[in-house]
Structure 1
Amino acid sequence: MAQDPHAAEQLAPLLTSEGWALLNSLGPYREEDALAITARLRKAGHAPELVSAVLSQARLRVKAEAKFGEFSRHMLFTRAGLEQATRLSIAARHARRFVDADVRSVADLGCGLGADAMAMASLDLDVTAVELDETTAACATINLMPFPNVRVVHEDAQTVPLEGIEGVWLDPARRTTTTSGTTRLWDPQQFSPPLSFVSELADAGRPVGVKLGPGLPHSSVPEGCEAQWVSTDGEVAEVGLYFNALKRPSVRRAALVLAGQTASELVAETDFGGGVRAEVGPLEGFLYEPDGAVIRAGLVAELADRLGGHLVDPHIAYICAPNLVATPFAKAYRVLDVRPYNVRALRQWVRDEGITALDIKKRGTSVTPEELRKLLFLGQGKGPKKKPHRRATLVLTRIGDDRVAAVVEPV
């Protein structure tokens, strides 16, 4: 985990009996109550540094609810740690890999705030949670105290002894932190630990899994592992690489789509660039916008084949099909009209149709939806309206060298 230069001073006041009790006495926190809470705590005689630390942590706990649910109310966080922390719903799936592989002990290298270690411990795995950053390790110690089968070690993930431990899970730091904030790292060899270290562990035959950012290039995915991209409620969260006993037979790449309590998966045995070859055809019928995990996993052609459809351009992830097919792997739209991309003509269309709200989607074009929306509504409101107000959806894309605008409606 990348170090946050301000995290230690914000956390230290909370690691006292007074600070911990004060933090947990706040109850549900609302930002609009911050001034009143500050005044009340200061009047009670609490030091300004403690009050500031308590309020900062209360804000982080509210933000963490999206990933940790009710557990967040009793945890400690750093801002950088929360950014990279795994959602518990996804961490549970990481842990299940080890259980299904009959692994009983796991080293969580780069455990961060402890999300994956919590999920593993809840499935009765013995966990050694390793974290290099001292402040983050302190948070993990607090967060994992309810689990007697977890021990937190403040040490370098690349040097900690692994004797007697069966499996390894890694969540490398992919950000560098400075006084001005955090910056994302893109080169897998700059991660901490680097991807080459993961491969070395896997080459020794251990069951190894690693969580990485979803933007990992296909060229950086090691041979012999399974790569599973995961999206939750429409947002691509990660790619997990699984080696040896954690890898499923005959799965090289996969897209796991989580929506509420529903999980759907699209898989392929072939390597990246192989497999199904999708045909290219007209923009008509029903337009499908694949989930980001499907796109990242290189499974758009496989999805088109499943939908009985085709691509509108060989380099753009839009699928068209003559029939409406229910699928968790894409959003569907009925194509109403397709016209050349022309701002003046589109502005006239907006006026003629009485459109007052416009959703704009785009792929394969440099047009900025926000700027185009301003141009299309420029001058609207002058003169009589010909038709009732309504919302419309516009899809901007490229077919070969031509830019087009498709009027669609969500299904």
Structure 2
Amino acid sequence: MTADPAVALMDRLRDGPGAQLLSGLPPYEESGALALMSRLRAQGHDADLVSAALTQARLRARARPRLGALADELLLTQDGLEQATRPAVAARRARMVAGTGVEHVLDLGCGLGLDARALAEAGLAVTAVDSDPVVAAAARANLAPFDRARVVVADAADVTVGPGDAAFLDPARRTPGRADVAGRTRRVHRLADLSPPFGTVLDVAARARATVAKLSPVFPRAQIPADVCAEWVGLDGDVLECALWWGLDSTGRHAVVGHDAGPEVTWHELGELPHDEPLTRADELGPWLAEPDRTVLAAGLTGSVAALVRGREVSAGAGYVTAPAPVDLPFARWYAVREVLPLQARTVRAWLRERPHGAVTIKKRGVQVDPDAFRTELRLPRKARGGVEAVLVLTTVAGAPTVLMVDRHDP
């Protein structure tokens, strides 16, 4: 049987002359790619290998903001890169899997193998499974440094999961087929359209000792199974994923917020806490406003922030918390409330005209207002008249559309 040409190219890039060609390429620049391709072909390099190597160089350049220096060690695909886990997130998850006491993990739908690498680095034996032979070839190259990691081409639903195994699943959220101009294929949103589908995830979780499934950060909270720990994970303001865990001691919803401010990412966790109901009257608004991290909002844990600061949500679902005083939290920003105005451009415009201010920043949560259109209605002068930044928070307070004029607070 003739080998798949795409698989053969991946294998050629993994070692031998293909690997040497790839490692010797200059930093990728789109403007010079055609000229470089012509020059390499003129030097006698195989045309298909040159094209494959330049594709890898382009993908590595795109991967560096997400994967850092690790990108230059990997073989990539466009869809695999779109779904690739950031190294710090994969490392944290691998430590948690190792903490369950298992020795062997099945990575069912391993993609490029980045999570499998992290699991192997955590000292676990890993069987990485993918149904796409080309993707599996890339994963095999990426896992080559790890003796206890192997790659199998198979469907996740056909793999035997033992009661002593842990399982990791990262279902593909894109459909194979026609791609856009950037090479990305269509994203799917229904759980039944995942590959493997969510039903397979539940079947694996029923058999394995511990299971974790990496899902979209917009995973519907109403569909979280009972007795599961659901983690929404974010890093430096970006919400990255929702991870469902079976086999942990904890359950319920959690927000995990990471800050990359040094050699290692610092993680902070927030769980479900009892809290007071949102405001029912506008005059109950306190002098301080907390803006929870987007990961906290995705997890639906604004009320937990309110509990920590002895405050209340300004309105149900608004995503802001009012409090009597600021409390230093790693997953919230603070603002001092200067004025409370109705959400009317005319009223806000008059308020701004009476007070010198610099740039005007508009923030919005919980109201159906276009911030750009609202800015246009304010008829702001082309040049700021000086003064400090004016921050406008468009939201609801006790259910009423409101503009909060606030000042940033930097403790």
TM tier relative to shorter chain: 0.7 to 0.9
Q: What is the alpha-carbon distance in structure 2 between the residues aligned to residue 20 and residue 102 of structure 1?
A: 37
* Equivalent in the alignment of 1:237: 240
Q: Compared with structure 1, are the counterparts of its residues 348 and 46 closer, same or farther at alpha carbon in structure 2 (3 Å cutoff)? A: farther
Aligned residues: 394
Q: Compared with structure 1, are the counterparts of its residues 220 and 338 closer, same or farther at alpha carbon in structure 2 (3 Å cutoff)? A: same
* Equivalent in the alignment of 2:144: 145
Equivalent position to 1:406, from 401, 404, 407: 404
Residue pairs, 1:105-124, within 5 angstroms: 105-124=104-123
Q: Deviations over 1:168-192 (max 9, x none)?
A: 1111112223314423222222211
Amino acid paired to 1:276: H
Q: What is the alpha-carbon distance in structure 2 between the residues aligned to residue 44 and residue 267 of structure 1?
A: 60
Q: Which runs of 5+ in 2 are unaligned?
A: none
Residue pairs, 1:311-330, within 5 angstroms: 311-330=313-332
Equivalent position to 1:266, from 257, 267, 270: 270
Question: Are 2:255 and 1:252 aligned?
Answer: no
* Equivalent in the alignment of 1:56: 55
> Aligned to 2:212, what secondary structure does the other structure show?
strand
Q: What is the alpha-carbon distance in structure 1 between the residues aligned to residue 61 and residue 7 of structure 2?
A: 20
**Structure 1 residue ranges (4+ consecutive) displaced by more than 6 angstroms after TM superposition:** 6-10
* Equivalent in the alignment of 1:3: none
Q: Compared with structure 1, are the counterparts of its residues 408 and 41 closer, same or farther at alpha carbon in structure 2 (3 Å cutoff)? A: farther
Contact 1:229-1:254 at 8 Å conserved across structures: yes
Measure how far apart 1:376 and its partner are: 3.1
> Aligned to 1:158, what secondary structure does the other structure show?
helix
Amino acid paired to 2:255: A
Question: Are 2:228 and 1:225 aligned?
Answer: yes
Among all aligned residue pairs of Structure 1 and Structure 2, give the percentage whose two residues are the same amino acid: 39
> Aligned to 2:156, what secondary structure does the other structure show?
coil
Equivalent position to 2:217, from 214, 217, 228: 214
Amino acid paired to 1:183: R
* Equivalent in the alignment of 2:196: 193
Amino acid paired to 1:408: V
Q: What is the alpha-carbon distance in structure 2 between the residues aligned to residue 133 and residue 308 of structure 1?
A: 52
Q: Deviations over 1:71-91 (max 9, x none)?
A: 211211111111111111111
Q: Compared with structure 1, are the counterparts of its residues 336 and 37 closer, same or farther at alpha carbon in structure 2 (3 Å cutoff)? A: farther
Contact 1:231-1:256 at 8 Å conserved across structures: yes
Measure how far apart 1:263 and its partner are: 1.0
Residue pairs, 1:36-185, within 5 angstroms: 37-38=36-37, 40-41=39-40, 44-46=43-45, 49-163=48-162, 166-181=165-180, 182-185=185-188
Q: What is the alpha-carbon distance in structure 2 between the residues aligned to residue 373 and residue 32 of structure 1?
A: 38
Q: Which runs of 5+ in 1 are unaligned?
A: 1-5
Amino acid paired to 1:394: L
Q: What is the alpha-carbon distance in structure 2 between the residues aligned to residue 47 and residue 350 of structure 1?
A: 66
> Aligned to 1:179, what secondary structure does the other structure show?
strand
Q: What is the alpha-carbon distance in structure 2 between the residues aligned to residue 7 and residue 63 of structure 1?
A: 21
Q: Deviations over 1:2-54 (max 9, x none)?
A: xxxx9879968846744332221125445565466456545545466544433
Q: What is the alpha-carbon distance in structure 2 between the residues aligned to residue 137 and residue 351 of structure 1?
A: 62
> Aligned to 1:63, what secondary structure does the other structure show?
helix
Measure how far apart 1:314 and its partner are: 2.0
**Scaled by the length of structure 1, what TM-score is found?**
0.86
> Aligned to 1:241, what secondary structure does the other structure show?
strand
Contact 1:230-1:257 at 8 Å conserved across structures: yes
Contact 1:107-1:165 at 8 Å conserved across structures: no
Measure how far apart 1:255 and its partner are: 0.9
Amino acid paired to 1:224: D
Measure how far apart 1:400 and its partner are: 4.8
Q: What is the alpha-carbon distance in structure 2 between the residues aligned to residue 391 and residue 204 of structure 1?
A: 56
**Scaled by the length of structure 2, what TM-score is found?**
0.86
Higher mean C-alpha displacement, 70-79 vs 52-61: 52-61
Q: Deviations over 1:286-319 (max 9, x none)?
A: 1111112222222211210111111111232110
Q: What is the alpha-carbon distance in structure 2 between the residues aligned to residue 70 and residue 359 of structure 1?
A: 35
Q: Supply the RMSD in Å over aligned alpha carbons.
A: 2.8
* Equivalent in the alignment of 2:390: 392
Q: What is the alpha-carbon distance in structure 1 between the residues aligned to residue 288 and residue 18 of structure 2?
A: 58
Measure how far apart 1:378 and its partner are: 5.8
Q: Deviations over 1:265-300 (max 9, x none)?
A: 1123x8xxxx43434164441111111222222221
Measure how far apart 1:354 and its partner are: 5.4
Higher mean C-alpha displacement, 156-165 vs 230-239: 156-165
Q: Compared with structure 1, are the counterparts of its residues 343 and 45 closer, same or farther at alpha carbon in structure 2 (3 Å cutoff)? A: farther
Q: What is the alpha-carbon distance in structure 2 between the residues aligned to residue 41 and residue 333 of structure 1?
A: 57
* Equivalent in the alignment of 1:341: 343
Q: What is the alpha-carbon distance in structure 2 between the residues aligned to residue 131 and residue 362 of structure 1?
A: 42
Q: What is the alpha-carbon distance in structure 1 between the residues aligned to residue 45 and residue 380 of structure 2?
A: 55
Measure how far apart 1:220 and its partner are: 1.1
Q: Deviations over 1:217-242 (max 9, x none)?
A: 12211111111111111111111111
Q: What is the alpha-carbon distance in structure 1 between the residues aligned to residue 6 and residue 170 of structure 2?
A: 20
Measure how far apart 1:59 and its partner are: 2.4
Higher mean C-alpha displacement, 253-262 vs 277-286: 277-286
Q: Deviations over 1:311-355 (max 9, x none)?
A: 111232110111011101212112122211222343454555455
> Aligned to 1:82, what secondary structure does the other structure show?
helix
Q: What is the alpha-carbon distance in structure 2 between the residues aligned to residue 313 and residue 353 of structure 1?
A: 28
Q: Compared with structure 1, are the counterparts of its residues 302 and 148 closer, same or farther at alpha carbon in structure 2 (3 Å cutoff)? A: same
Residue pairs, 1:286-301, within 5 angstroms: 286-301=288-303
